[in-house]
Amino acid sequence: MGRIVLNRDKCKACYLCIDACPNKVLEPDENVNKLGYYPTRVSLNKEDKCVGCAICARVCPDMAIEKVYR
Amino acid sequence: MEQLVYKKPDSIRDDFKITFCPGCDHGIAVRLVAEVLDELSVREKTIGIASVGCSVFSYDFFNVDIVEAAHGRSLAVATGVKRSKPDKVVFTYQGDGDLASIGLGETIHAMTRGEKVTTICINNTTYGMTGGQAGPTTLIGQVTTTTTKGRDPQLSGYPLKVCEILKEVDGTAFVARVTLDSPAAILNAKKCIKKAFEAQIKGLGTGFIEILATCPTNWKMTPQQAHERVRGEMSEVFKPGIYKDRVSEAI
């Protein structure tokens, strides 16, 4: 089981991570962040599905996913 | 017990603020260069040369010393820096308008001299920062703010293929064109960038990487559609691959 540390105020809502996530753990948030975007978040009921592959962090152009644990 | 498998590279400043548009591949390219600097343990002795274009903000991200060069003159500045400080690792981070249009003379001559520097070129087929004008790499038929009916080769010429030109230049040691459109492509791009830095560190010659990047804002596409374009029409004209590899031969 993995865990990501996501800085939601750095996300610019390109959602490349949502497309790349193999287990479809990520989804758009319903609330805007400081930049005015709807950032990515980990789906509340899918937290345990994250395997910590760090693919989301590698495709993120804004380095909003700061740490990945496995 | 949790194990840290990924963290922000040390070669990125702690107070960094990505100023690029949403979905722009620049951010990925910056991170890959920073990861390579970390892996080679050369951050402390690296000097970067920023150019003009979207890449101008390099000093906001890279946790290394950065010199800002005039438009297109990055490789001329890099030559001076490297020759006066030969033990430093020097890289330039440029866009296609900077490297292939305004600075093509500097580019070819610095590489003909085989300057021991690494050049990263972000090719997004347009002048991104100034508002999406046609650049040297704009594809045939591509609509930009200065080719409103699509680029017509009879009027404004054909796209310039920088890798194909630079592989014929004797001073280059590593020439590759990579994409950032998928996780596998990103890993491949990182390997190529590492080799381009090794070419410099081993003193073999210039390392050159052309990155096919997206510009969703000026292409007027979503980031997903922009990556589809990179995979499709862009990769057909600019074929990704390793064009020259003296680094592997030297090992």
Mean per-residue pLDDT for B157-183? 94
Q: Is residue B239 situated within a structural domain?
A: yes
- Domain CATH code at residue A21: 3.30.70.20
Chain A: residue nearest B223 by CA?
A: A14
Total tally of structural domains belonging to chain A:
1
**d(Cα B58, Cα B243) in Å, to the nearest integer?**
27
Whether residue A70 and residue B5 make contact (CB cut-off 8 A), yes or no, is yes
pLDDT in tens, A16-59: 999 999 999 999 999 999 999 999 999 988 888 999 999 999 99
Total tally of structural domains belonging to chain B:
1
Residue B47 corresponds to which amino acid? I
For residue B33, give its domain range. Answer: 26-250
How many angstroms separate the CA of residue A6 from the nearest CA in chain B?
Answer: 11
**Nearest Cβ partner for A14 among B2, B3, B223:** B223
Cβ contacts below 8 Å, chain A against chain B, sum to 74
- Domain CATH code at residue B164: 3.40.50.970
What pLDDT was estimated at residue B49?
Answer: 95
Look up the pTM and report it: 0.95
Residue A63: its chain B contacts at CB < 8 A? 8, 12, 16, 18, 27, 31
Q: Is residue B15 situated within a structural domain?
A: no
User: B23 CB near a chain A CB, below 8 Å?
Assistant: yes
Most A CBs within 10 A among B3, B5, B6, B215, hence the mutation to make, goes to B6
pLDDT in tens, B185-225: 999 999 999 999 999 999 999 999 999 999 999 999 999 99
**Nearest Cβ partner for A69 among B5, B22, B31:** B5
> Residue B241 — left, alpha, or beta (φ > 0 → left; ψ -120 to 50 → alpha)?
left
Could you tell me where the beta strands, DSSP code E, fall in A1-70? 3-6, 26-28, 40-42, 65-69
Q: Is residue B13 situated within a structural domain?
A: no
- Compute how many other C-beta atoms are within 10 angstroms of the C-beta atom of residue B153: 10
**d(Cα A24, Cα A40) in Å, to the nearest integer?**
12
> Is residue B48 within 8 Å of B119, Cβ to Cβ?
no
For residue A34, give its domain range. Answer: 3-69
